[in-house]
C-alpha cells in the first residue's frame, strides 16, 4: 500500500555534489532547503570529499532543490553535480543527515 501523501507525480533524485563542499555548512544548507521545499530524503558526506543527496518529491520541486545544490552556500564552491532520476519509493517521512559513506 502506498503512502496517501505520495502521488504518482513524485520522483526520486540522487545527486552527488563535487567541489569544496565539506566543512562549509553544505549539509545544513541542504537540510534547510529541503525542509523549505517539503521534500523528504537525506544528505551525507562521502569519503571522496563530495556530498550525496537523495530526495523525493514532485519533479518541479526537486528541480528547484537541484538549482540550490548547484549554487551551494556562500562558503562552498561547487564544481560539478551528477544527477540520476529514479522512481520514488515513499520510504522517507522527513529530511535528515546520514553517516559518511
pLDDT digit string, tens, across residues 37-72: 999 999 999 999 999 999 999 999 999 999 999 999
* The residue to which cell 553517516 is assigned: 99
The answer to whether the predicted template modeling score (pTM) of the entire model surpasses 0.85 is yes
Catalytic positions, written as ranges: 27, 45
Q: Where do the domains of the chain lie?
A: 23-91
Please, which pLDDT band fits residue 4 given cuts at 50, 70 and 90? Answer: very low
CA distance 57 to 12: 7
For residues 52 and 44, is the Cβ–Cβ distance under 8 A? yes
For residues 90 and 56, is the Cβ–Cβ distance under 8 A? yes
Task: For the domain made up of 23-91, give the CATH fold.
Answer: Alpha-Beta Plaits (3.30.70)
Q: Looking only at Cα atoms, what is the longest distance across the chain?
A: 43
Amino acid at each position: 500500500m502506498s503512502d496517501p501523501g505520495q502521488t504518482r507525480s513524485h520522483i526520486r533524485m540522487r545527486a552527488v555534489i563535487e567541489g569544496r563542499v565539506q566543512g562549509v555548512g553544505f549539509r545544513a544548507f541542504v537540510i534547510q532547503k529541503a525542509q523549505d521545499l517539503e521534500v523528504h530524503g537525506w544528505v551525507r558526506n562521502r569519503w571522496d570529499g563530495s556530498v550525496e543527496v537523495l530526495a523525493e518529491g514532485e519533479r518541479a520541486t526537486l528541480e528547484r532543490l537541484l538549482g540550490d545544490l548547484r549554487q551551494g552556500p556562500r562558503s562552498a564552491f561547487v564544481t560539478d553535480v551528477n544527477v540520476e532520476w529514479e522512481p520514488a519509493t515513499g520510504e522517507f517521512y522527513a529530511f535528515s543527515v546520514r553517516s559518511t559513506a
